[in-house]
Structure 1
């Protein structure tokens, strides 16, 4: 029967694949993923803000209808205005259209390359038809160099959406749309491209003007909306207040586009930008410069976006799959997020393209978060299992080390190669003793005996491997080695402590007129394999290898050399030769071993009585 894929890998795969699919433009259409798109908009705004202020373009220059221009009749005396027909005509809004025409004519006569009105002349002038005619007559010499504004309105009445294109009152060769595209929280993000025109204006009567910035630059519109690279807060853009128009040298206007519009907050044309509120005419200036200088922000082309998304998230998935611990996964995810932001910033600054960063971040956060959570839960389960299995087999200090790095203990079914000391001890003559004692007495005796042995191993940071009848096996040097020499000395100290514990127990048994016990201990150093052994339902950590067999056979030799209850191998002695006193018992044949090994009877540690 075919084995089903690992559910953890399924969840991990979906966490990576779903954001890729969402990121594809063809699949994004019609999907309820506005949150991702809005997050992209907010990330763009944040990127602009973090990039900081930069010098604005010199073109276009704004003729600003500001608060002072709207109050010249109050701020200046008639005598102060007597020499300027323009100042005499200024005052509260609305201004005569003849005055607005004079502003445009003034800069055109002084060499301006063109004029763009950010004012929609949709209704007849409040000053009568003569005012409209004066506007047309005054500007007729420059009709092909003047761009008038149009607007798009969307209203809802009783749940019925109404859309209207607001065009200038008169036919005009150059008309541009002042509509701005806003984020969900009302911040300007872009000017519409031709896709927007087709979607929003396609069913309305023509003509269908494109965005003002494209018309002003005699450029065809981009297909996608053009993101605006704001350079600073309100007032940063080059501008001349309308009331100061006549005080400027002709060089201010020479060969430049001039944008006429209101900066007065009272006229209600303020727009939110990453740098705060900015007048609508300043936003249009940013757009015109962006089109002229090719600095507008466009989405990454689909032919690049899809492979880049797939490649990037596949790379991220590969790196995250290689990260084993939850901590490593979190750090890898944070690193990938940083690299992703760096990549997006590089593409933005170098190519004026925007990678759908929200999709990438969603993939990394969803994938990395899922994997980290799964791994963390698995680590906790493994740590709890290790604690349960080992808390009575190792010292508290060693247990804490193991729990910090559970992988080092070989928590998988496989094992790991290591070098350590194996201690094997057994009671001498236990079979005959067990036949003399009642079961309860026998078990009480063994428990008291093993309690002393286990304490000796744990005190030296050894690992209690197993109890087999009246035998005990322990290791020194796994899972944490303090160095071969130190582990060898620790094993010897543990063996000596076992003998002292047995001596105390024998004194108690003698006092109770019970049979006393004797033990043999074998110590050997060498290679072995450590790991969990058993079925998936029941695993036991243990060691296997020739080193275990040699230690067991050395313990058995203590029956032959009864005056030396602790026997050590030549391999172990080589580690501690200057620290111990031993007797060379010569080469000894071990059962099941192909050739004799050098055996030594342990006497004492040098410097200890």
Structure 2
């Protein structure tokens, strides 16, 4: 018989080397791949660099501000100075619900506070006098009095009594309220409080904050001109200062200020808060406020805290009342706690730098999960570096655009690599599937290192199938070559399809013979491997039957198939020479499967299975005992079985099977009379069954001439 191997002329290891080429450093660093990855990273860096500078998209800008706020919120805070007190107009000061009427009537200021808000300005005058009398350096009134009102003269007298120690608020109004486009609406206090020319007695500072586009206050503006507000700072104009700047000057704590600065906030709620009403309750003044000692040498800022004033602003550290933001601004100015944002050029450069990082990670990291982990670490390192430079260098780099460059460039490169690898795997898979089983290919591509280790030699439980077309060799001597090749290809194509469908590995073709294996590279356990081999054999017999019917229409010979099945341990490995190697299984399990295929002709059946296969697959298939034999080259006998088939060629469990197996039990127990009776009783259901007739003759022979006492029910095969 001519031996033709499926993998002839293509050594398996050479194919494997071709297969694994996509995973080598050389392939991953190929010039074309590196050029594509470099272009991808450069493109993403350019996109986000443009978005960070010349072209802005509002949602992205807002996201950038939110990320920066996270750094400010969780970064190092400014230490809260001890020389500030927040004198709060809280709800308790507005409703005086904690005081009895007698206590309210006992103090003129409380009596005025008990009236409907807005209060008489005499209340503020009383508070200023009380606090300054206790030794405060400066009092800041974060309250705007643009119109004349009750008690103005009292407040004016107090301001004159304490010249240079009180700051009162003015306000810039929204530009939308201005009739003229180039006009600025500035509202100083009423003349009845601070008359023109009286600024030496009472300083006036604006109480405004200017939030950014997302309505978040991040910067303090310590001086301002009308031209600044109109967006034309070069025009000059009167310079006005903020409440906080004037208070720091009056207290002698700071003289030079930046025009504006991004504040490092203190810890929220870290400034001491004193409810305004407690100033006028003697017991509380003595107990809580320690006779006013809490105000000594302090800057006291009086302002609204109650929710009804709606004087709250969003900041990076949370929503804060306006007076507290003034305190944060003064604290930042006092210690110089400001930070700088990165310029547009710096952000652009950072985008390209992180694009280069993405290129390096994707170009030289072989494993996708490892590359993703390194990319995540790089992103975390960038964010960590942002915290460090914010904490120690008062610098906040751009965050969103460089981080987006790193992520998008990295993910795009990984997607490109994934597509490239899938394309290479598909190409190699198609190439390998011409020579080896699809299961071997899949296992090689998915678990290369494990399979390579096993190909070096491993002992595994396998199920083996040998099939052969009976008499095909004789037909080749007279058949037309073209028709013969067409028929053989049709037959082998059908057989291979069935093997693959049942997840078997096509080990080799040997002429018209097929060797298939289960359990080498794709196994769910010996039982399922054995069941798959039986299922494959039954389907192969059905396919040959259908082909035989088609071939008979053109006068082709009546071909029959013989199949042998066995299961057990075998050696799996890449076997051959340096010039030619192929993965296969060897050992007694394989040899016995081949012997069983040869015995199908002797027993007149198309399928023989060993006792191991029968035991493993008995849950799905019925098996009919045919004999116990000792094959050539094997000392241990083996019981062989057939799989009963119905007229349509499907596996079945016939009614006569129980009697048949009972007859075999009597035969092994030397009860030959009973065995003959049972075998004969099913002869009508198995007409011309060669194995059954042989057993009847054997039993009758032993009836006539009983075997010796040491007899074993084993048939010894003299030839292969």
Same fold, TM-score > 0.5, yes or no: yes
- The alignment status of 1:100 with 2:146, answered yes or no, reads no
* Paired residues for 1:329-348 under 5 Å: 330-348=372-390
- Residues 1:439 and 1:469: Cα distance change in structure 2 (over 3 Å): same
Q: Which moved more, 1:13-22 or 1:248-257?
A: 13-22
1:238 has 2:272 as partner = yes
2:47 corresponds to 1:18: yes
Q: CA deviation at 1:317?
A: 3.5
After superposition, the Cα gap between the structure-2 partners of 1:85 and 1:297, relative to the gap in structure 1 and judged at 3 Å, is: farther
Given the alignment, which residue of 167, 174, 198 partners 1:154? 174
- 2:323 paired residue number: 281
Task: Tell me if structure 2 keeps the 8 A contact 1:463–1:475.
Answer: yes
- Give, in whole Å, the separation in 2 of the partners of 1:255 and 1:59: 7
| 2:402 is the alignment partner of 1:360 | yes
Please list every run of 5 or more consecutive structure 2 residues that lacks an aligned counterpart in the other structure. Answer: 1-30, 458-467, 524-528, 561-570, 585-597, 599-632, 641-720
- Residues 280 and 38 (structure 1 numbering): CA distance in 2 closer, same or farther, change over 3 Å? same
Deviation, 1:61, is 0.7
CA distance in structure 1 between the aligned counterparts of 2:187 and 2:420, rounded to whole angstroms: 63
Does 2:150 correspond to 1:127?
Answer: yes
1:440 aligns with 2:483: yes
Q: Is the 8 A contact 2:223 2:242 kept in 1?
A: yes
For the residue of structure 2 that corresponds to 1:68, the secondary structure is helix
Counterpart for residue 302 of structure 2: 260
Q: Distance in 2 between matches of 1:202 and 1:81?
A: 54
Distance between the aligned counterparts of 2:573 and 2:87, measured in 1?
90
Secondary structure of the residue that 1:116 maps to in structure 2?
strand
Q: 1:432-453 CA deviation, whole Å, 9 max, x = no partner?
A: 9377325234311243246547
Map Cα deviations across residues 36-71 of structure 1 (whole Å, 9 max, x no partner): 332132224445666899996544111112233334
User: CA contact under 8 A between 1:270 and 1:280: conserved in structure 2?
Assistant: yes
Are 1:218 and 2:254 counterparts?
yes
How many residues matched?
Answer: 526
Q: 2:199 aligns with which of 155, 160, 171?
A: 171
Q: Provide the secondary structure at the position in 2 that maps to 1:136.
A: helix
1:317-466 map, 5 Å: 317-323=359-365, 330-378=372-420, 381=423, 398=439, 402=442, 406=445, 433=476, 436-437=479-480, 439-449=482-492, 451-452=494-495, 462=505
Q: Structure 1 residues 374 and 341 mapped into 2: Cα distance closer, same or farther (>3 Å)?
A: same
Matched, 1:208 2:250: no
Change (3 A) 1:166 1:604: farther
Q: Secondary structure at the match of 2:149?
A: coil
C-alpha distance in structure 2 between counterparts of 1:304 and 1:606, whole Å: 84
* TM-score of the pair, normalised by structure 1: 0.62
Pairwise CA distance, 1:238 = 1.4
- What residue number does 2:314 align with? 272
Counterpart of 2:58 in structure 1 is 34
Please name the residue that 1:557 is paired with.
Answer: none
Q: Any idea what SS the aligned residue of 1:127 has? A: coil
| Distance (whole Å) between structure 1 residues aligned to residue 222 and residue 396 of structure 2 | 16
Q: 2:139 maps to what in 1?
A: 115
Equivalent position SS for 1:181: coil
RMSD: 6.3
Give the superposition deviation at 1:161. Answer: 7.4
Distance 1:161 1:388 in 2: 75
Change (3 A) 1:315 1:195: farther
- Distance in 1 of aligned mates of 2:96 and 2:454: 92
Structure 1: gaps (5+ residues): 411-415, 483-489, 518-523, 529-542, 552-564, 566-601
| Greater shift in the superposed pair: 280-289 or 164-173 | 164-173
SS in 2 for 1:436: coil
Q: Is the 8 A contact 2:140 2:300 kept in 1?
A: yes
Residue in 2 aligned with 1:187? 216
**Structure 1 match to 2:695:** none
**Structure 2 Cα separation of the partners of residues 344 and 607 of structure 1:** 76
